[in-house]
Amino acid sequence: MQRIAIVGLGLIGSSIGLGLRRWSAENVRDGQPALEVIGFDSNLDRQSQAKKIGAVDRTEWELRKAVESADLVVLAAPVLALKEIMGDIAPLLKHGAAVTDVASTKAEVLDWANELLPRTVSFIGGHPMAGKETSIEGAEGDLFREATWCVCPSVQATDEAIRTVLGMINALGAEPYFVDPSEHDAYVAGISHLPFVVSSAMMNALSADPSWRDMKTLTAGGFRDMTRLASGSPEMHRDVVITNRAAVQRWLSAYIGELERFQGLLASEGDDADAALLEFFTNGRDRRAEWAVQTSREAELLGGIGNDGEGDGFSGQMGRMLFGGFLRKPRVQKEESKPPAR
Protein backbone atom coordinates (compact mmCIF):
# COMPACT_ATOMS: atom_id res chain seq x y z
CA MET A 1 0.00 0.00 0.00
CA GLN A 2 1.34 3.39 -0.96
CA ARG A 3 0.95 6.24 1.49
CA ILE A 4 -0.01 9.75 0.33
CA ALA A 5 0.00 12.84 2.57
CA ILE A 6 -2.08 15.87 1.58
CA VAL A 7 -1.00 19.08 3.33
CA GLY A 8 -3.89 21.54 3.08
CA LEU A 9 -7.49 20.33 3.09
CA GLY A 10 -9.37 23.08 1.33
CA LEU A 11 -11.24 22.65 -1.95
CA ILE A 12 -8.31 21.35 -3.99
CA GLY A 13 -6.69 19.19 -1.32
CA SER A 14 -9.97 17.58 -0.27
CA SER A 15 -11.00 17.00 -3.89
CA ILE A 16 -7.68 15.26 -4.54
CA GLY A 17 -8.30 13.11 -1.48
CA LEU A 18 -11.82 12.19 -2.57
CA GLY A 19 -10.65 11.26 -6.06
CA LEU A 20 -7.70 9.20 -4.85
CA ARG A 21 -9.70 7.34 -2.22
CA ARG A 22 -12.32 6.42 -4.80
CA TRP A 23 -9.62 5.20 -7.19
CA SER A 24 -7.97 3.27 -4.36
CA ALA A 25 -11.22 1.52 -3.44
CA GLU A 26 -11.65 0.49 -7.07
CA ASN A 27 -8.12 -0.95 -7.20
CA VAL A 28 -8.04 -3.25 -4.20
CA ARG A 29 -5.01 -5.54 -4.00
CA ASP A 30 -4.94 -8.63 -1.80
CA GLY A 31 -8.03 -7.39 -0.03
CA GLN A 32 -6.55 -3.95 0.74
CA PRO A 33 -7.03 -0.56 -0.92
CA ALA A 34 -4.09 0.48 -3.08
CA LEU A 35 -3.52 3.73 -1.17
CA GLU A 36 -3.70 5.27 2.28
CA VAL A 37 -4.50 8.99 2.20
CA ILE A 38 -3.38 11.03 5.21
CA GLY A 39 -4.53 14.62 5.67
CA PHE A 40 -3.11 17.58 7.55
CA ASP A 41 -4.34 21.15 7.88
CA SER A 42 -3.47 23.82 10.44
CA ASN A 43 -7.22 24.48 10.67
CA LEU A 44 -8.55 21.65 12.82
CA ASP A 45 -12.15 22.30 11.78
CA ARG A 46 -11.11 21.75 8.18
CA GLN A 47 -9.36 18.55 9.18
CA SER A 48 -12.54 17.30 10.81
CA GLN A 49 -14.64 18.23 7.80
CA ALA A 50 -12.25 16.47 5.41
CA LYS A 51 -12.48 13.30 7.50
CA LYS A 52 -16.27 13.62 7.69
CA ILE A 53 -16.73 13.81 3.90
CA GLY A 54 -14.32 10.93 3.30
CA ALA A 55 -11.52 12.94 1.69
CA VAL A 56 -8.88 11.18 3.81
CA ASP A 57 -8.42 7.86 5.55
CA ARG A 58 -7.10 9.62 8.61
CA THR A 59 -5.78 12.98 9.74
CA GLU A 60 -2.79 13.95 11.85
CA TRP A 61 -2.56 16.86 14.25
CA GLU A 62 1.17 17.18 13.68
CA LEU A 63 2.71 17.89 10.29
CA ARG A 64 5.61 15.59 11.12
CA LYS A 65 3.37 12.56 11.60
CA ALA A 66 1.55 13.26 8.36
CA VAL A 67 4.58 13.37 6.07
CA GLU A 68 7.35 11.32 7.67
CA SER A 69 6.23 7.97 6.20
CA ALA A 70 4.59 9.26 3.00
CA ASP A 71 5.68 8.02 -0.42
CA LEU A 72 4.02 11.05 -2.04
CA VAL A 73 3.41 14.42 -0.38
CA VAL A 74 0.91 16.80 -2.01
CA LEU A 75 1.23 20.43 -0.91
CA ALA A 76 -2.23 21.95 -1.33
CA ALA A 77 -1.68 25.09 0.75
CA PRO A 78 -1.71 28.74 -0.46
CA VAL A 79 1.32 29.55 -2.58
CA LEU A 80 2.91 32.00 -0.13
CA ALA A 81 2.72 29.35 2.61
CA LEU A 82 4.67 26.79 0.57
CA LYS A 83 8.14 28.14 1.33
CA GLU A 84 7.64 27.81 5.08
CA ILE A 85 6.02 24.38 4.71
CA MET A 86 8.91 23.12 2.57
CA GLY A 87 11.35 24.27 5.23
CA ASP A 88 9.32 22.51 7.92
CA ILE A 89 9.00 19.17 6.11
CA ALA A 90 12.51 19.05 4.62
CA PRO A 91 14.12 17.10 7.50
CA LEU A 92 11.06 14.86 7.89
CA LEU A 93 10.66 13.39 4.41
CA LYS A 94 11.54 9.77 3.79
CA HIS A 95 14.38 8.92 1.45
CA GLY A 96 13.07 8.62 -2.12
CA ALA A 97 9.74 10.38 -1.50
CA ALA A 98 8.05 12.42 -4.23
CA VAL A 99 6.72 15.89 -3.41
CA THR A 100 4.32 17.88 -5.58
CA ASP A 101 2.12 20.95 -5.21
CA VAL A 102 -0.99 22.50 -6.77
CA ALA A 103 -0.09 26.21 -6.66
CA SER A 104 -1.13 28.58 -9.44
CA THR A 105 2.44 29.81 -9.99
CA LYS A 106 5.47 27.63 -10.55
CA ALA A 107 8.80 29.45 -11.06
CA GLU A 108 9.20 30.69 -7.47
CA VAL A 109 7.83 27.43 -6.06
CA LEU A 110 10.46 25.39 -7.89
CA ASP A 111 13.15 27.82 -6.70
CA TRP A 112 12.00 27.27 -3.10
CA ALA A 113 11.99 23.51 -3.58
CA ASN A 114 15.51 23.58 -4.99
CA GLU A 115 16.68 25.71 -2.07
CA LEU A 116 14.93 23.93 0.79
CA LEU A 117 14.16 20.30 0.00
CA PRO A 118 16.87 17.62 0.38
CA ARG A 119 18.37 15.97 -2.69
CA THR A 120 17.10 12.63 -1.38
CA VAL A 121 13.54 13.53 -2.50
CA SER A 122 12.09 14.59 -5.85
CA PHE A 123 9.97 17.68 -6.37
CA ILE A 124 7.55 17.82 -9.29
CA GLY A 125 5.63 21.08 -9.54
CA GLY A 126 1.96 20.79 -10.45
CA HIS A 127 -1.04 22.97 -11.19
CA PRO A 128 -4.50 21.55 -11.94
CA MET A 129 -6.43 23.91 -14.20
CA ALA A 130 -9.69 23.39 -12.33
CA GLY A 131 -11.44 24.81 -9.31
CA LYS A 132 -14.42 26.63 -7.85
CA GLU A 133 -15.05 29.69 -5.72
CA THR A 134 -16.20 27.58 -2.77
CA SER A 135 -13.92 25.98 -0.18
CA ILE A 136 -14.02 22.46 1.22
CA GLU A 137 -17.83 22.44 1.06
CA GLY A 138 -17.56 22.20 -2.73
CA ALA A 139 -14.97 19.40 -2.79
CA GLU A 140 -15.71 16.57 -5.22
CA GLY A 141 -13.80 13.62 -6.56
CA ASP A 142 -14.58 14.53 -10.18
CA LEU A 143 -13.29 18.10 -9.93
CA PHE A 144 -10.26 17.36 -12.11
CA ARG A 145 -11.84 15.00 -14.62
CA GLU A 146 -10.71 15.96 -18.16
CA ALA A 147 -8.92 19.03 -16.77
CA THR A 148 -5.39 19.93 -17.82
CA TRP A 149 -2.83 19.38 -15.05
CA CYS A 150 0.41 21.28 -15.59
CA VAL A 151 3.55 19.34 -14.65
CA CYS A 152 6.91 21.02 -13.99
CA PRO A 153 9.54 18.53 -12.74
CA SER A 154 12.64 19.84 -11.01
CA VAL A 155 15.96 18.98 -12.64
CA GLN A 156 16.72 16.53 -9.81
CA ALA A 157 13.40 14.67 -10.03
CA THR A 158 13.76 10.96 -10.74
CA ASP A 159 11.86 9.24 -13.52
CA GLU A 160 10.03 7.09 -10.98
CA ALA A 161 8.92 10.10 -8.92
CA ILE A 162 7.60 11.75 -12.09
CA ARG A 163 5.69 8.56 -12.94
CA THR A 164 4.23 8.56 -9.44
CA VAL A 165 2.85 12.08 -9.87
CA LEU A 166 1.60 11.24 -13.38
CA GLY A 167 -0.15 8.23 -11.89
CA MET A 168 -1.92 10.45 -9.37
CA ILE A 169 -3.03 12.78 -12.15
CA ASN A 170 -4.25 9.82 -14.19
CA ALA A 171 -6.16 8.43 -11.20
CA LEU A 172 -7.93 11.77 -10.83
CA GLY A 173 -9.00 11.72 -14.49
CA ALA A 174 -6.90 14.73 -15.53
CA GLU A 175 -4.58 15.17 -18.52
CA PRO A 176 -0.90 15.96 -17.74
CA TYR A 177 0.76 18.81 -19.62
CA PHE A 178 4.52 19.25 -19.27
CA VAL A 179 5.56 22.90 -19.36
CA ASP A 180 8.52 25.06 -18.39
CA PRO A 181 7.83 26.88 -15.08
CA SER A 182 8.42 30.37 -16.50
CA GLU A 183 6.29 29.65 -19.54
CA HIS A 184 3.56 28.30 -17.26
CA ASP A 185 3.54 31.51 -15.23
CA ALA A 186 3.42 33.65 -18.36
CA TYR A 187 0.52 31.66 -19.79
CA VAL A 188 -1.65 31.45 -16.67
CA ALA A 189 -1.13 35.14 -15.94
CA GLY A 190 -3.21 35.82 -19.05
CA ILE A 191 -5.80 33.04 -18.97
CA SER A 192 -6.26 32.67 -15.22
CA HIS A 193 -4.85 35.55 -13.19
CA LEU A 194 -5.94 38.45 -15.42
CA PRO A 195 -9.58 37.25 -15.38
CA PHE A 196 -9.88 37.43 -11.60
CA VAL A 197 -8.21 40.86 -11.57
CA VAL A 198 -10.73 42.06 -14.18
CA SER A 199 -13.62 40.43 -12.31
CA SER A 200 -12.68 42.15 -9.04
CA ALA A 201 -12.06 45.49 -10.78
CA MET A 202 -15.50 45.43 -12.40
CA MET A 203 -17.14 44.57 -9.09
CA ASN A 204 -15.24 47.32 -7.28
CA ALA A 205 -15.97 49.96 -9.93
CA LEU A 206 -19.70 49.34 -10.16
CA SER A 207 -20.40 48.80 -6.47
CA ALA A 208 -18.61 52.04 -5.56
CA ASP A 209 -21.01 54.13 -7.64
CA PRO A 210 -23.88 55.84 -5.78
CA SER A 211 -26.37 54.26 -8.18
CA TRP A 212 -25.30 50.72 -7.28
CA ARG A 213 -28.11 50.34 -4.77
CA ASP A 214 -30.68 50.55 -7.54
CA MET A 215 -28.52 49.21 -10.34
CA LYS A 216 -27.88 45.86 -8.68
CA THR A 217 -31.56 44.94 -8.90
CA LEU A 218 -31.14 44.75 -12.69
CA THR A 219 -28.14 42.42 -12.73
CA ALA A 220 -28.48 39.24 -14.76
CA GLY A 221 -26.44 36.46 -16.36
CA GLY A 222 -23.82 38.61 -18.06
CA PHE A 223 -22.94 40.41 -14.86
CA ARG A 224 -22.86 37.16 -12.88
CA ASP A 225 -20.56 35.53 -15.44
CA MET A 226 -18.16 38.48 -15.53
CA THR A 227 -17.89 38.88 -11.75
CA ARG A 228 -17.98 35.22 -10.72
CA LEU A 229 -14.24 35.07 -10.06
CA ALA A 230 -14.44 37.96 -7.61
CA SER A 231 -16.14 35.48 -5.26
CA GLY A 232 -12.88 33.55 -4.91
CA SER A 233 -10.44 33.69 -2.03
CA PRO A 234 -8.89 37.17 -1.70
CA GLU A 235 -5.85 35.67 0.01
CA MET A 236 -5.31 33.23 -2.85
CA HIS A 237 -5.64 35.98 -5.47
CA ARG A 238 -3.19 38.19 -3.57
CA ASP A 239 -0.64 35.40 -3.20
CA VAL A 240 -0.86 34.48 -6.88
CA VAL A 241 -0.24 37.99 -8.20
CA ILE A 242 2.58 38.59 -5.69
CA THR A 243 4.41 35.52 -6.99
CA ASN A 244 3.73 36.40 -10.65
CA ARG A 245 3.97 40.19 -10.75
CA ALA A 246 5.80 40.69 -14.04
CA ALA A 247 3.61 38.35 -16.08
CA VAL A 248 0.38 39.76 -14.62
CA GLN A 249 1.58 43.31 -15.35
CA ARG A 250 2.32 42.36 -18.95
CA TRP A 251 -1.19 41.03 -19.61
CA LEU A 252 -2.79 43.82 -17.62
CA SER A 253 -1.04 46.36 -19.85
CA ALA A 254 -2.28 44.55 -22.96
CA TYR A 255 -5.83 44.48 -21.59
CA ILE A 256 -5.75 48.16 -20.62
CA GLY A 257 -4.47 48.91 -24.13
CA GLU A 258 -7.53 47.21 -25.62
CA LEU A 259 -9.84 49.14 -23.30
CA GLU A 260 -8.17 52.42 -24.22
CA ARG A 261 -8.46 51.58 -27.92
CA PHE A 262 -12.16 50.86 -27.42
CA GLN A 263 -12.57 54.10 -25.47
CA GLY A 264 -11.08 55.99 -28.39
CA LEU A 265 -13.44 54.29 -30.84
CA LEU A 266 -16.41 55.05 -28.62
CA ALA A 267 -15.47 58.73 -28.46
CA SER A 268 -15.27 58.95 -32.25
CA GLU A 269 -18.24 59.54 -34.54
CA GLY A 270 -19.08 58.75 -38.13
CA ASP A 271 -19.40 55.69 -40.31
CA ASP A 272 -15.74 54.71 -39.90
CA ALA A 273 -16.03 54.77 -36.11
CA ASP A 274 -19.21 52.70 -36.22
CA ALA A 275 -17.52 50.16 -38.48
CA ALA A 276 -14.51 50.01 -36.15
CA LEU A 277 -16.77 49.30 -33.16
CA LEU A 278 -18.46 46.51 -35.10
CA GLU A 279 -15.06 45.07 -36.01
CA PHE A 280 -14.01 45.18 -32.33
CA PHE A 281 -16.95 43.05 -31.21
CA THR A 282 -16.83 40.79 -34.29
CA ASN A 283 -13.17 40.01 -33.74
CA GLY A 284 -13.80 39.15 -30.10
CA ARG A 285 -16.69 36.87 -31.01
CA ASP A 286 -14.73 35.10 -33.77
CA ARG A 287 -11.61 34.56 -31.64
CA ARG A 288 -13.72 33.09 -28.87
CA ALA A 289 -15.54 30.81 -31.30
CA GLU A 290 -12.22 29.54 -32.67
CA TRP A 291 -11.01 28.85 -29.13
CA ALA A 292 -14.23 27.04 -28.17
CA VAL A 293 -14.19 24.82 -31.27
CA GLN A 294 -10.50 23.98 -30.85
CA THR A 295 -10.94 23.16 -27.15
CA SER A 296 -13.92 20.89 -27.85
CA ARG A 297 -12.14 19.16 -30.72
CA GLU A 298 -9.03 18.47 -28.61
CA ALA A 299 -11.23 16.98 -25.88
CA GLU A 300 -12.93 14.71 -28.42
CA LEU A 301 -9.59 13.52 -29.77
CA LEU A 302 -8.19 12.80 -26.32
CA GLY A 303 -11.31 10.92 -25.31
CA GLY A 304 -11.46 8.83 -28.45
CA ILE A 305 -8.04 7.17 -28.47
CA GLY A 306 -8.07 3.74 -26.92
CA ASN A 307 -10.29 4.86 -24.08
CA ASP A 308 -11.17 1.35 -22.98
CA GLY A 309 -7.87 1.29 -21.09
CA GLU A 310 -7.41 -2.41 -21.84
CA GLY A 311 -6.20 -2.59 -25.41
CA ASP A 312 -2.89 -1.70 -26.99
CA GLY A 313 -3.90 1.88 -27.82
CA PHE A 314 -2.12 4.92 -26.50
CA SER A 315 -4.43 5.31 -23.51
CA GLY A 316 -4.10 1.68 -22.50
CA GLN A 317 -0.31 1.77 -22.70
CA MET A 318 -0.11 5.00 -20.73
CA GLY A 319 -2.53 3.68 -18.13
CA ARG A 320 -0.44 0.58 -17.53
CA MET A 321 2.79 2.57 -17.34
CA LEU A 322 1.46 5.31 -15.07
CA PHE A 323 -0.58 3.15 -12.73
CA GLY A 324 2.33 0.75 -12.48
CA GLY A 325 4.56 3.61 -11.35
CA PHE A 326 1.86 4.85 -9.01
CA LEU A 327 1.43 1.54 -7.22
CA ARG A 328 5.09 0.61 -7.07
CA LYS A 329 7.02 1.95 -4.10
CA PRO A 330 9.65 4.54 -5.11
CA ARG A 331 13.13 3.15 -5.59
CA VAL A 332 15.62 4.63 -3.14
CA GLN A 333 18.10 6.83 -4.97
CA LYS A 334 21.65 7.32 -3.84
CA GLU A 335 22.61 10.92 -3.34
CA GLU A 336 25.67 10.59 -5.54
CA SER A 337 23.76 9.12 -8.47
CA LYS A 338 23.38 11.34 -11.51
CA PRO A 339 19.82 12.68 -11.89
CA PRO A 340 18.10 11.91 -15.19
CA ALA A 341 17.70 14.69 -17.70
CA ARG A 342 14.42 16.60 -17.47
Q: pLDDT digit string (tens) for 324-337?
A: 444 443 333 333 33
pTM across the whole model = 0.83
What residues have CB less than 8 Å from 230, skipping those under 6 apart? Answer: 196, 199, 200, 202, 203
Is 148 within 8 Å of 175 (Cβ atoms)?
yes
Instruction: Give me the DSSP letters along 130-199.
Output: ---SS-GGG--TTTTTT-EEEEEE-TT--HHHHHHHHHHHHHTT-EEEE--HHHHHHHHIIIIIHHHHHH
By DSSP bridging, strand 148-153 and strand 122-128 are antiparallel
Q: Which domains does the chain have, with CATH numbers?
A: 2-179+307-327 (3.40.50.720), 183-303 (1.10.3660.10)
179: amino acid identity, one letter = V
Return the half-sphere exposure (C-beta side, CA atoms, 13 A cut-off) of residue 185.
22
Question: Could you tell me which of 140, 135, 147 has the C-alpha nearest to residue 8?
Answer: 135
Helix (H, G, I), strand (E, B) or coil at 63: helix
Which secondary-structure segment (H or E) carries 72?
strand 72-75
Q: Read off the pLDDT of residues 58-103 as tens digits, 9 standing for 90 and up.
A: 999 999 999 999 999 999 999 999 999 999 999 999 999 999 999 9
Question: Which backbone phi and psi does 218 adopt, to 5 degrees?
Answer: -100, -5
Is 54 within 8 Å of 37 (Cβ atoms)?
no
Neighbouring-strand partners of residue 38: 5, 58
Give how far Cα 193 sits from Cα of 79, 212, 340, Å.
14, 26, 33
Query: pLDDT 10s digit of each residue in the chain, 342 long?
Result: 899 999 999 999 999 999 999 999 998 878 888 999 999 999 999 999 999 999 999 999 999 999 999 999 999 999 999 999 999 999 999 999 999 999 999 999 999 999 999 999 999 999 999 876 666 778 999 999 999 999 999 999 999 999 999 999 999 999 999 999 999 999 999 999 999 999 999 999 999 999 999 999 999 999 999 999 999 889 999 999 999 999 999 999 999 999 999 999 999 999 999 999 999 999 999 999 999 998 776 666 555 443 333 333 333 333 334 444 444 433 333 333 333 343
pLDDT at 301: 59
CA–CA dist 71, 77 (Å, integer) = 19
Alpha helix stretches (DSSP H) within the chain: 11-26, 44-52, 63-67, 82-89, 107-116, 159-171, 181-188, 194-207, 212-215, 221-227, 234-242, 245-267, 271-303, 314-327
Question: Could you tell me which of 102, 107, 123 has the C-alpha nearest to residue 243?
Answer: 107
pLDDT at 137: 74
